[in-house]
Structure 1
């Protein structure tokens, strides 16, 4: 699967704080956040499909 850029607008102050976090931890935070978001979406989507 190819990597596609995700366009997310973040306030500059928050971006700077986020970029100050070590890269491996940043990657894990993003993966966890995306997985959690997808899980929530799947749960909500299933409720509509019942």
Structure 2
């Protein structure tokens, strides 16, 4: 999985993870300010698509 440096850092800090059924899990402790983009918490429970 390819991530930008900010999301890679957040993943390493376990601020979000991926479930066994490939859904995004965002930590309740995740705090952010994102005035110009979609907040990470809005991705919680979204399904990832795997492409071959």
Same fold (TM over 0.5): no
**What's the TM-score once normalised by structure 1's chain length?**
0.32
**What's the TM-score once normalised by structure 2's chain length?**
0.31
Larger strand fraction of residues: 2
Higher Cα Rg, which structure: 1
